[in-house]
């Protein structure tokens, strides 16, 4: 069963774009429940899924000012719940915090699993917060 999805994400926005101008461009597709603009992207939640689909169809790969934008359905708002349900169904080894490795239920949710990768040194079996190597600059 496909869910009616009403929230889209607009990516590739210029830092200088006016929030009112952007909202005006998307209001022509339907009533907006929520409009949340961030640096370089924006979440827009329409009242119905038809408006969201129409906005994607008409605005994806269009230009706003000098920027080519990408418009697509936003991922689930409650990403931890959806990730947990996918993990239980497919057994892909992600726990509720989004870290890779062993099974969350099996490990009890404490500490890194034997297959977890450190984002600092790329070593296996520990997390960056526990890394003994010198921290790499970001």
Interatomic CA distance for residues 19 and 32, integer angstroms: 14
- Digit-coded pLDDT (tens) for 115-133: 677 777 777 777 777 788 7
The domain ranges of the chain are 7-73, 84-130
pLDDT at 86: 44
Q: Which of 104, 127, 123, 125 is nearest to 114 (CA)?
A: 125
Average pLDDT value for residue range 42-52: 95
Interatomic CA distance for residues 22 and 105, integer angstroms: 44
- For 33, how many CA atoms within 13 A lie in the half-sphere containing its CB? 11
pLDDT at 77: 54
133 backbone dihedrals φ, ψ, rounded to 5°: -80, 160
Interatomic CA distance for residues 95 and 88, integer angstroms: 10
Answer yes or no: pTM beyond 0.85: no
- For 1, how many CA atoms within 13 A lie in the half-sphere containing its CB? 2
pLDDT at 56: 97
pLDDT at 99: 44
3-state SS class at 62 = coil
Partnered with residue 45 across adjacent β-strands are 7, 34
pLDDT of 10 > 90? The answer is yes
Q: Are 93 and 87 in contact (CB under 8 A)?
A: yes
pLDDT of 38 > 80? The answer is yes
Mean pLDDT, all residues of the chain: 76
- Digit-coded pLDDT (tens) for 53-67: 999 999 999 999 889
Interatomic CA distance for residues 135 and 127, integer angstroms: 12
Q: Give me the CATH topology for the region 7-73.
A: Alpha-Beta Plaits (3.30.70)
Per-residue pLDDT band for 102 (boundaries 50, 70, 90) equals very low
């Amino acid at each position: 069963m496909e869910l009616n999805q009403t929230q889209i994400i607009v990516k590739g926005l210029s830092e200088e774009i006016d929030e009112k101008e952007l909202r005006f461009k998307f209001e022509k597709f339907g009533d907006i429940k929520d409009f949340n603009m961030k640096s370089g992207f924006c979440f827009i939640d329409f009242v119905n899924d038809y408006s969201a689909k129409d906005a994607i169809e008409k605005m994806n790969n269009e230009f706003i000012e000098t920027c080519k934008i990408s418009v697509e359905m936003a991922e689930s708002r409650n990403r931890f719940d959806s990730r947990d349900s996918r993990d239980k169904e497919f057994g892909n080894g992600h726990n509720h915090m989004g870290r890779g490795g062993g099974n969350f239920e099996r490990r009890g949710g404490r500490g890194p699993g034997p297959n977890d990768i450190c984002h600092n040194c790329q070593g296996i079996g520990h997390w960056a917060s526990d890394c003994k190597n010198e921290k790499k600059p970001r």
